[in-house]
Structure 1
Amino acid sequence: MGISQTVKRAAAGVAAAGMLTAATLAVTTGPAAAAMGKGRVQICAQGNYAAYLSFEGSRYSTSVLAVPGACVKTDIPTSTYQIGVNGVYNSGASFRMGAFVASSSDDPGWKVYTKGTTAAWWWYADRN
């Protein structure tokens, strides 16, 4: 076997390995749609205002603030029986959007999305 045959085979091997790597990445990467783990919740502020969650029934009062365009994950505190969804005006004052029944034993956890503007807001929670 000459040098040119060896180079051709090596190049074919490298190309095949590269295609397998690209295929593996295409299969293993995807949108951030992974399920939340047991007792976890995520708030995504997709409107033009910040949002946060309040944990009712627990000794903890609120979650971390999600700024517009961001998502924040946290654990649902023990003794929580309901999660409140809250928005924040630009002035810093907050407003109650609603609530849903949830607990730290929920498996899978929850994803909460706030949308719209402070004048025309809406939200939904997805057990994911």
Structure 2
Amino acid sequence: MKKLGNNFVNKKSIGETVDMTKEVDKFAPRRIFPEDHEALRKLAFDKKLSYVELLNEIHEFSKIKMHEKGLEYYREFEKYNTPSAQHKSLGLPQEFNAFLNEFSTRDFPAKHLLSAIIQDYIINQNK
């Protein structure tokens, strides 16, 4: 029994260490309107996609629309007016977050731009 006990106390490395890549670094936390969060949830379910896949699809769509129509096009969309305590958190891909930060302004913040992009995407999916 003593011989077996020494094997467990042995200071040899039992396994190899694995470097874990942090997927969290690829996302930026962003607060969005509850209406947009619910719309994304339903759309992801309907299209059988994950949030990340759906957000990447929306990002590609918005780059094309922004190039074609410009920022003024998105100002026409409905602006939600909900208390910030009710806003939902979402992990937005870094590229999409940088895109929002690039085109948002003081009078048209990123939260409203993201909301308009989501609305535009949903409208164009139903055509």
Whether the TM-score (by the shorter chain) exceeds 0.5 is no
Output the TM-score relative to the length of structure 2: 0.29
Compare the two structures and name the one with the higher helix fraction.
2
Output the TM-score relative to the length of structure 1: 0.29
Compare the two structures and name the one with the higher strand fraction.
1
